[in-house]
Amino acid sequence: MKKILFFFSILLIFFSFTKEIHPYHVGSVEINYSSKSKTFEITGRFFLDDLENGLSKKYGKPFHFNDSKYKAQINEALKNYSSEYFKLKSDHQFLRVNYIGYEEDSESVNVYLESEKVDSPKKVEAAVSFLYNLFDDQINLVHIIVNGNRKSEKLTYPNRYLFQQF
């Protein structure tokens, strides 16, 4: 199953990164537990145009990632957007998740988040609904990694909840 999800995500991203409008609406979210910092380090990767459109629809104004004058606006919008469209629990306790920042290239954006400290998670639950406010065919591939053990799941709109035992 992991190999199929990995192949599927690579295939979708490969065929979707074109200058034309991509036919798929897909993103990925990696939730990686760091035993060193005792936090979950979260990276969301989305198509730049999709994220611009999702933020614009949500907040009613334009956002342009490749224009430095929008950087402060984008940081504030992504902080609020992430807090609404991403929730994390460990062992039945909600975790505070902080927005760290973002990086962009010409076609995609990485959004970085980090949870508060937690000791040795056994059950991880997440609510992931990035870009569900824009597309009713959005797919989010979610990878949860705890102590090197990787578990992946595909969430397709409107499904947003998942949990994994470690």
- The whole-number average pLDDT for the span 89-117 is 96
- The whole-number average pLDDT for the span 15-37 is 80
Q: Two tokens at 104? A: 């962009």
What pLDDT score was predicted for residue 18? 44
What pLDDT score was predicted for residue 3? 47
Instruction: Report the alpha-carbon distance of residue 116 to residue 29 in Å, rounded.
Output: 18
Say if residue 33's pLDDT is above 80: yes
Alpha helices in 22-66 (DSSP H): 48-59
- The whole-number average pLDDT for the span 120-136 is 97
Alpha helices in 17-135 (DSSP H): 48-59, 71-85
- The whole-number average pLDDT for the span 103-125 is 96
What domain range includes position 75? 2-17+25-165
Looking at the DSSP assignment, which residues form a beta bridge with residue 43?
Answer: 30, 112
Q: Two tokens at 92? A: 């039945």
Overall number of domains in the chain: 1
- The whole-number average pLDDT for the span 34-52 is 97
What pLDDT score was predicted for residue 22? 65
Tens-place pLDDT, residues 63-97: 999 999 999 999 999 999 999 999 999 999 999 99
- Closest by Cα among 88, 87, 79 to 33: 88
